[in-house]
Chains A and B, each alone.
Chain A
């Protein structure tokens, strides 16, 4: 039982960390995408959306190369004592961040775009600098989008399988997450434990979706 708890805890840790990192990274990117008028911002938007379309194995394959000991990136990090990030928890976090990037960028970008210019102009005429207006007006108004992004990223990372399999394997306490564990339990014909984890994920997914829908409902009722 304790090994199952370890797997679940690791999964939650991975999903939580990925969510926090993505909110920090995706918010400025989404802001720029929402405000930019240049056509090549759409090129950047398309690149960030790639993980939606690509099979996780393709993403995992390139990550395996990029995080492996032979990659230029890892050679840059060599002086800091980092030789490879494949089959490590850190590597898994990097992979999850890239894999779930579109699920953070899209809702936040839409939320920023929905605000429009007007509240920001009003803030400027009330002496708020652009940075001030971003924190005091844009972010609070985009709260529903930020919440949606956090829920989607968290849930998507919990459900991640292909990328983890490619770059993480299933090292207990390092990279063995729930989805991998279910796969291995089934292979080992341990259906009882597989049932437990699978049913747990179904319940989790249901609670997440219900919560999201209720939040949305509340938000729309708040709007004038």
Chain B
């Protein structure tokens, strides 16, 4: 179980968010731009310091008295623009965290190379990678640091449609192959629908809904529901968020639980959504 609670301000922005997420699978952190998703993620990594508490499994990373510095937390963070080390080649980047992980290696180098198909890139300079390749290396680098919690901050946001389609299958595989809980920030509902098992919805610095998707989230980008949602979301954020919560089968805070009959059709097997 991951239990988190943070509150504080950054300039005019106020974060007051609490959630619990399962210690496995992908938890989507969804909300409109500027709602504090990235700030919350940075608090989880210890990169931004706010008052609060954070437990990951048995380990206390932060509470009233404890604040573990980022390098003492076993969290790995994938930034939106990858931020690979320019002075190291692909192999150097991948080994950076691995060499500092110390503890028995749960995620092996060769495993990650195979999982993300990084073999052909190993000796390349980081300057000579495409956007999609950069993100794959960044995800591999994060996995190899043997994290207890993997934080992905909109890893697809800076990519074009082709690169997105190239990376999504890898993220789906991640799901199956690695037993590390992932928190996946995105403002793209189609992405979340495709990847997440659990959903946290944020608005204006607070968590407004959370719950399991349980495979019930709509799949593929073509579903009517998603299109309706995306259309509504741009014009009216609140309605969009409520809809998102309903579609995923959650109970929005302060609203009666959703009856099973109003849920969308359960997602079939994963195979037919491969991009």
Contact = CB atoms under 8 A, between A and B. Distances in A.
Interface string B164-185: 0000000000000000000000
Given A118-B79, A121-B47, A126 B97 contact: yes
Contact of B76 (A126, A128, A141, A223): A126
Contacts of B102: 127
Given A123-B96, A126-B76, A224-B127, A137 B71 contact: no
Interface in A133-156: 133, 136-137, 140-141, 143
Contact of B77 (A122, A133, A136, A137): A122
Contacts of B128: 224
A133 B70 CA distance: 12
A124 B77 CA distance: 10
Contacts of B75: 125
A125 B87 contact: no
A214 to B, nearest CB: 19
A119 B76 contact: no
A201 to B, nearest CB: 35
Contact of B145 (A126, A136, A140, A224): A126
B145 A127 contact: yes
Interface in B77-112: 77, 79, 83, 85-87, 96-97, 100-102
A132 B100 contact: yes
A129 interface: yes
Nearest to B98: A126
A222 interface: yes
Q: Which of A118, A121, A130, A223 has the most CB of B within 10 A?
A: A121
A111 to B, nearest CB: 12
B87 A143 contact: yes
Nearest to A126: B97
Contacts of A118: 79, 83
Q: Which of A118, A126, A223 has the most CB of B within 10 A?
A: A126
B86 A125 contact: no
Interface residues of A, number: 22
A224 B101 CA distance: 29
A124 B100 CA distance: 11
Interface string A145-173: 00000000000000000000000000000
B85 A122 contact: yes
Contacts of B86: 119, 141, 223-224
B141 interface: yes
A113 to B, nearest CB: 16
Interface residues of B, number: 26
A147 to B, nearest CB: 13
Contact of A222 (B77, B85, B127, B141): B127
A121 B85 CA distance: 11
Nearest to B96: A126
A125 B96 contact: no
Contacts of A123: 71, 85, 96
Interface in B43-93: 45-47, 69-71, 74-77, 79, 83, 85-87
A121 B127 CA distance: 19
Contacts of A125: 45, 47, 70-71, 75-77, 142, 145
A127 B97 contact: yes
B241 to A, nearest CB: 29
Contacts of B97: 126-127
A222 B89 CA distance: 13
Nearest to B129: A224
Interface in A35-77: none
A118 B38 CA distance: 14
Contacts of A130: 71
A125 B145 CA distance: 9
A163 to B, nearest CB: 36
Given A126-B71, A126-B96, 16 more contacts: A119-B83, A121-B77, A121-B79, A121-B83, A122-B85, A124-B70, A125-B75, A126-B76, A126-B141, A127-B97, A127-B101, A129-B71, A132-B71, A223-B127, A224-B127, A224-B128
Which 5 A-B residue pairings sit nearest by Cβ, starting from the closest?
A126-B97, A124-B70, A224-B127, A127-B100, A125-B77
16 contacts: A122-B77, A124-B47, A124-B69, A125-B45, A126-B142, A126-B145, A127-B101, A128-B100, A130-B71, A132-B100, A136-B96, A137-B85, A137-B87, A141-B87, A224-B86, A224-B126
